[in-house]
Amino acid sequence: MIIETTAANTGGSRLGLKKDDRVTVNDLLYGLLMKSGNDAAVALAIHTAGSINNFAELMNQKANELNLEKTHFVTPHGLDDPNHYTTAIELAKLTDYALNNSIFSTIVKTKYAVISINGVQIQLKNTNEILCSDYEGVYGVKTGFTNNAGRCLVTSIKRENIDIIIVVLGADTRNDRVKDTVKLVNYIYNNYKIKNVKELVEEEYYNWKNINQERIYVYKANSKLETKLGNIEINEIVTDKNIEIEINSISYMEAPIEKNKKIGIITVRNGNEILEQIDIMADREVDRMNVTDYLIIFAKAFCL
């Protein structure tokens, strides 16, 4: 594609594009995400939507789709504007969405690359200092700076099968944003662990079943009550709290009982938050005793 005047005249951090330069869309993406090229951002916006305003509309449509209620875009590069804003949590949500795009995720974890402008090769080094430092588990994402926002850094990192996104905004220096990121990373991995909710619930349920199932009295039942566990929707979570499991059930019932009748409930809590409630149900029908059943009982008793 050919670079227009608007992109070439964009200030701030630049890839170094000039009017009428020829460069591919793919190389502009590398220039944007690795080099923080504001000129590349404008060139891509115009190429995609025809104008900066049209591209901002597309960005805001996507923000609405992702339920980013405190985010509003005006420019493709994010230079200071009172109507261009977001929050740390919504930046994290946007990053989580973007990392599902294979092109994006590949570029933001690239430390060094070579692109071509007008057929001339240019070497790029990622501005993300924590990525280039080989800090354990880091695979992106992006640095940022404006006078109002300060030094910013969004970091994606994976250790011990725990995938996290750290957002640091408003740091005074590059070193500060890295130090704050490292502090947050250390805190999370020192305090948060993976808890397998499904395994914990199943273990508690079967312990309860072995002791309590036969304590449920079913009046006039012609067979034993057998229970089963309902569907558990949550598998694993990452938390710094203990998972608490509370089981409550009916102690008295009257036959007949239909299959899948709810006879108890398991409440799963993560601290004060209720994660899930799972039904305990009858595994099969329990019929009411009839005359024949009573005769059999009397006969057995008489034989004894």
pLDDT score of 291 more than 90: no
Least confident of 172-176, 287-291, 292-296: 292-296
More confident residue, 302 or 232: 232
Please tell me the distance from the alpha carbon of residue 137 to that of residue 259, in angstroms, as a whole number. 50
- Answer whether 154's CB lies under 8 Å from 91's CB: yes
- pLDDT attached to residue 133: 93
Phi and psi at residue 244, in whole multiples of 5°? -110, 135
Phi and psi at residue 8, in whole multiples of 5°? -65, -30
Q: How many residues does the chain have?
A: 304
* Three-state DSSP state, 264: strand
Q: C-alpha angle with apex 64: 150 to 238, nearest 5 degrees? A: 70
Least confident of 16-25, 222-231, 282-291: 282-291
92-145 confidence digits (pLDDT tens):
999 999 999 999 999 999 999 999 999 999 999 999 999 999 899 999 999 999
Surface-to-core class of residue 134, CB atoms within 10 Å of its CB (0-12 exposed, 13-18 middle, 19+ buried): exposed
Which residue has tokens 């070579």?
114
pLDDT score of 298 more than 90: no
Mean pLDDT of the chain: 94
Please tell me the distance from the alpha carbon of residue 274 to that of residue 37, in angstroms, as a whole number. 45
232-259 confidence digits (pLDDT tens):
999 999 999 999 999 999 999 999 999 9
The one-letter amino acid code at 190 reads N
Question: Which residues are registered as beta bridge partners of 227?
Answer: 282
What residues contact residue 138 under an 8 Å CB cut-off, 6+ apart? 130, 131, 155, 156, 157
- pLDDT attached to residue 294: 52
- Answer whether 141's CB lies under 8 Å from 104's CB: no
- Rg of the chain on CA atoms, in Å: 30
Percent of the chain exceeding pLDDT 90 equals: 91
Please tell me the distance from the alpha carbon of residue 57 to that of residue 74, in angstroms, as a whole number. 8
Mean pLDDT for the stretch of residues 13-35: 96
pLDDT score of 300 more than 80: no
From the list 14, 42, 10, 13, the residue with the least C-alpha distance to 145 is 13
Q: C-alpha angle with apex 132: 37 to 192, nearest 5 degrees? A: 110
- Concatenated DSSP letters for 239-258? ESS-EEEEEEE-SEEES-B-
The one-letter amino acid code at 11 reads G
pLDDT score of 293 more than 80: no
Q: Mind listing the domains of the chain with CATH numbers?
A: 5-191 (3.40.710.10), 195-292 (2.60.410.10)
**Within 10 Å of residue 98's Cβ, how many Cβ atoms?**
19
Please tell me the distance from the alpha carbon of residue 110 to that of residue 131, in angstroms, as a whole number. 9
